[in-house]
Structure 1
């Protein structure tokens, strides 16, 4: 934790009117490294959102649908990671904070309901709900920090103004046809994703100073790990449902076993070494806000996206196991694990400053297989993806054991 931030958080407020808001902010001596029950409850809403997204993408995997799905993944992730930053700073045992989380959950459910037709008739509803979640949470933080911590208040003021700009693109885009809607919503997400990298610079207000917010890096590491668990769990649910629908085919059981093992290997690759390194790095760093931005806000996005795309690919391999592969099905079956490995390369490089050679080789194999995918059936690609993930997992495991033995 940043010393100056601890000092600010411990300072008594000078205004009686700010006392309520200050009570909502996590105390400097609070146990902040474990996810609270309200946060875990909040995460449940994203199981539904991810299931909706995977089903939507599996039903239509054309070029336009893929772009739309990418935008929806970015939107869902941005809501969740921003909410995680907020709960990192707040005391989730306080009733107003819990109420805020429940309202965000309700908004998240409505957003998930509108998600399948977000680029159709439910576009306006999706945009309004999305903006309400983002703006409502930001206004809550403005009130919490008002006359309590001037630097943090200004940071959230800048965040709010950036969100106002993005909201204009969301709302205007919701009134457009599909192509201009994609353009407007892409611009909205570009604004939101660029803002933290630019430290929320605004003319007249400048930019936020580094390490302004009192962030717990270890808490962020745990929260992101739990979200990865949610995504992997969604993949298991999707795989089980699809296997039950196609179990009459003699190939289904083998493909199901392969898909299940793929999910298990993904769990191993992320949690056996990468998550631990990320957590240790987050705990030891003197710049938790900067680390959280690079390692978690941006760094976990390809991991989460890769898991979701893997679920779609496993849907294809179960429902059309013996069909000849196309570039579209190969993109899901092989692209999901490849994107997952790319995210883990980023995480492990940032956390341990070492190139995970096994991951790079695995990524290269999947990319090469994608080029040659027209020569195989879908189940061949599924088996190859599983074998590649297994090879990466066992290679890294043996390499770590050798490294541990050499230093013992």
Structure 2
């Protein structure tokens, strides 16, 4: 207790797992992911794809900042619960505005994100009155004032191109502020806070699996909306295999070791700071693959255009880049198989106009299958050569790396 008020920060030795309110909050992400993949699938221009990516990256920031918020503050505290519910409603409103964020709902999208940031700080700052922890939300509010102004101005400008430029600048401020821990010129850096490894790892594992659920959801909905044919059913089966491979790669790789890595890593703070960006690459990659397979299932015999090629092959490549980066951060290595997989996806792209949508989807899945097969063989050999009592190795320390 502090002056008769319950502390909102997490207590040492308190709950270390995801709270049910956080799982409830994640339900809003389903709408975001589904609407984003749907917008990407229907876009025929690079500008439209860029707009969808910016919207997805902004809503990803909603999820990341809320996850960091609940890692620092207890979801059992009433002010924190109110903030989470408020952010959830705001995220749902932004998701609803996403398809027309660059049309007549720009102000709704931009002002809601600014309001989420400002509202969170204005609730937390009074709750931490008289405590040193108050410095963090104050600095966050200063950075959010700059970005929030750009978000609102961008929403007011009718030109989609100018709005995109302003929102890119606003998003850069948001991402830089978070990545640099909200520096203020002439002021010392914010003290590092003790993360909760189990909680943080579990949250990122949950959002990744939820993203895979979106891939499954949109392919089911797409198939159900069209007359069944051999081509569509084959495309649907190919998408399912791709989803299973994307799950296996994460669940049987570095993703499963995330909690241990955060807890044992000698560079824990760096791992905590890079986690959002690494998972962003994988989430965007999966959403791109989902959008690509939506179009493949709809028109399996057509020839792919440039945007479809970029979605499905670029999505697979982005996932592999993010997955390799996660391996580097967690296990201290970059798997060669993932590098080869990225090169293979790039190599297929020039031949895409001469293939059908179905063959392109099949080729993308083959790339993912090849990477998974190499990793499976490598792991089997590593397990076979390990001593019986050696168990799981801890992450490498920087000085131990070659």
- Matched residue, 1:249: 229
- Matched residue, 1:392: 371
Structure 2: how far apart are the matches of 1:157 and 1:364?
Answer: 45
1:88 equivalent to 2:71? Answer yes
Quick check: 247-256 or 109-118, which moved more?
247-256
- Matched residue, 1:326: 305
Structure 2: how far apart are the matches of 1:258 and 1:109?
Answer: 31
SS in 1 for 2:253: helix
Q: Show the 5 A alignment for 1:146-295.
A: 146-148=129-131, 150=132, 152-176=133-157, 177-209=159-191, 211=192, 213-285=193-265, 288-294=268-274
Taking structure 1 as the reference length, what is the TM-score of the superposition? 0.91
Q: What RMSD, in angstroms, separates the aligned Cα atoms of the two structures?
A: 1.6
- Give CA-to-partner distance per residue, 1:148-187, whole Å, 9 cap, x none: 3x1x322221111001000111011111110110110000
Alignment counterpart, residue 363 of structure 1, candidates 342, 345, 361: 342
Does the aligned pair in 1 maintain the 2:114–2:149 contact within 8 Å? no
- Matched residue, 1:124: 107
Post-superposition shift, 1:277? 2.6
Post-superposition shift, 1:129? 0.9
Post-superposition shift, 1:115? 1.0
Structure 2: how far apart are the matches of 1:83 and 1:89?
Answer: 10
Structure 2: how far apart are the matches of 1:106 and 1:353?
Answer: 39
Post-superposition shift, 1:314? 0.5
Taking structure 2 as the reference length, what is the TM-score of the superposition? 0.92
- Matched residue, 1:31: 15
- Give CA-to-partner distance per residue, 1:225-249, whole Å, 9 cap, x none: 1001111101100000111223433
Q: Give 5+ residue unaligned stretches, structure 2.
A: 388-402
Alignment counterpart, residue 89 of structure 2, candidates 87, 102, 106: 106
Structure 2: how far apart are the matches of 1:370 and 1:139?
Answer: 49
Does the aligned pair in 1 maintain the 2:67–2:203 contact within 8 Å? yes
- Matched residue, 2:394: none
Does the aligned pair in 2 maintain the 1:25–1:144 contact within 8 Å? no
Q: Give 5+ residue unaligned stretches, structure 1.
A: 1-11
SS in 2 for 1:174: helix
Does the aligned pair in 1 maintain the 2:285–2:315 contact within 8 Å? yes
Does the aligned pair in 2 maintain the 1:239–1:314 contact within 8 Å? yes
- Matched residue, 2:396: none
Does the aligned pair in 2 maintain the 1:217–1:288 contact within 8 Å? no
- Give CA-to-partner distance per residue, 1:3-35, whole Å, 9 cap, x none: xxxxxxxxx75xx2xx52x52211111131x11
Does the aligned pair in 2 maintain the 1:247–1:253 contact within 8 Å? no
Quick check: 393-402 or 278-287, which moved more?
278-287
Does the aligned pair in 1 maintain the 2:32–2:56 contact within 8 Å? no
Structure 2: how far apart are the matches of 1:144 and 1:314?
Answer: 47
Structure 1: how far apart are the matches of 2:188 and 2:152?
Answer: 27
SS in 2 for 1:23: coil
1:372 equivalent to 2:351? Answer yes
Structure 1: how far apart are the matches of 2:209 and 2:335?
Answer: 22
Does the aligned pair in 1 maintain the 2:79–2:124 contact within 8 Å? no
Does the aligned pair in 2 maintain the 1:325–1:377 contact within 8 Å? yes
Structure 2: how far apart are the matches of 1:203 and 1:348?
Answer: 34
